[in-house]
Amino acid sequence: MTSYYPPISYIVPPLEDGWLLKTILQKRMDVSRKLLSRLKMTDLGITLNGERVYISVKVSSGDQVQIRMEEETSEDILPQPIPFEILYEDGHLLVVSKAAGMIVHPTHGHYTETLANGVVHYWAEKGERVRFRPVHRLDQETSGVLVIAKNPYSHQHISEQMIAGTVDKRYTAFVHGVPPLPSGDIDGPIDRDPLEPHRRIVTPDGYPSLTRYEVKEVYGSAASRVELKLESGRTHQIRVHMGSIGCPLIGDGMYRHPLYGQAAGGRAEASAPGEERRAGEQAVTAGGEKQQALSPGEAARLAQIAELDAAIPRQALHAVRLAFRHPVTHAELVFEAPLPPDMALLQEKLRQSAR
């Protein structure tokens, strides 16, 4: 026997008397073409006043239209008792505050210890049959608010809001230096680095990408706290965009401050944070000749950068706020997650150093 999630209902108002059921489903209930095809294939997928009907029938004022989706599970995800923080849950959504270091979904080489493993176990313990459907992703080392849809309808609706740009996604980041303006837009196309495909770069041939930033706190000339709003959702977007204006994220081991490269004689990568050359040391070129890599001022600045990078074990980036419309009730939902302990400690260190 087929098991279904609770139905999603719609009562036909007088102004829609005589409309085709198909029109109600697509224009009023916003059922996608793909989901509509799935619903038509199940016994109780689409009903009118409790009866299964063709979507070509006409509806009358006061009729009750209902859709039901079959229950699903993530059979390819191993349930594991992994703790995670829940901000909100109902029959359609699960909103969590993801911890830094946690991968969202199993990938090649990381089949366990992910958020998905923990959520699937949590639902199984509650007796719920739900497939893990993250609506968006956060990098492994980025913490903060993440929304997971509990059925295809919810996933479709929140995804469409993200595509339309009506989801308010805000991040807090601690960056090296101070942006050139108190607030501004970083409008730079992003694509893969052809030399290192796992990295992203700003390039004229990339995909349109827009990040809005506002400086919230300045710590001398060494660093600042910024709030960022994404108007697009490219991989590593904030990390790449902030680096492009000379303010890379503190602790970011992939998109590091360019002074590291200078200190290494022009190489794109250098030693790990805390292991950089001291002021006055020389770099060795490919031909074996020694050259002065940094001026005394640059060497002092690099030492300061390295000290800050060593103060936090990951990029200092946190998804602090997420706001969107509920896919069924259409209520405006706002979720916020305070700074995690490692970023709070970094903030205190920056404040003390700036006194």
The residues that are catalytic are: 139
What distance lies between CA 37 and its chain's CA centroid? Answer: 30
Q: Enumerate residues 6+ apart whose C-beta is below 8 A from 312.
A: 174, 250, 251, 342, 343, 345, 346
Q: Which pair of tokens denotes residue 332?
A: 């405006």
DSSP bridge partners of 332 = 325
User: b/e per residue, 190-211, with b = 16+ CB within 10 A?
Assistant: bbeeeeeeebbbbeeebeebbb
Q: For the chain, what is the HEC assignment?
A: CCCECCCEEEECCHHHCCCEHHHHHHHHCCCCHHHHHHHHCCCCCEEECCEECCCCCECCCCCEEEECCECCCCCCCCCCCCCCEEEEECCCEEEEEECCCCCCCCECCECCCCHHHHHHHHHHHHCCCCCCEECCCCCCCCEEEEEEECCHHHHHHHHHHHHHCCCEEEEEEEEECCCCCCEEEEECCEEECCCCCCCEEECCCCECCEEEEEEEEEECCCEEEEEEEECCCCCCHHHHHHHHCCCCECCCCCCCCHHHHHHCCCCCCCCCCCCCCCCCCEEECCCCCEEECCCHHHHHHHHHHHHHHCCCCCCCEEEEEEEEECCCCCCEEEEECCCCHHHHHHHHHHHHHCC
DSSP bridge partners of 11 = 64
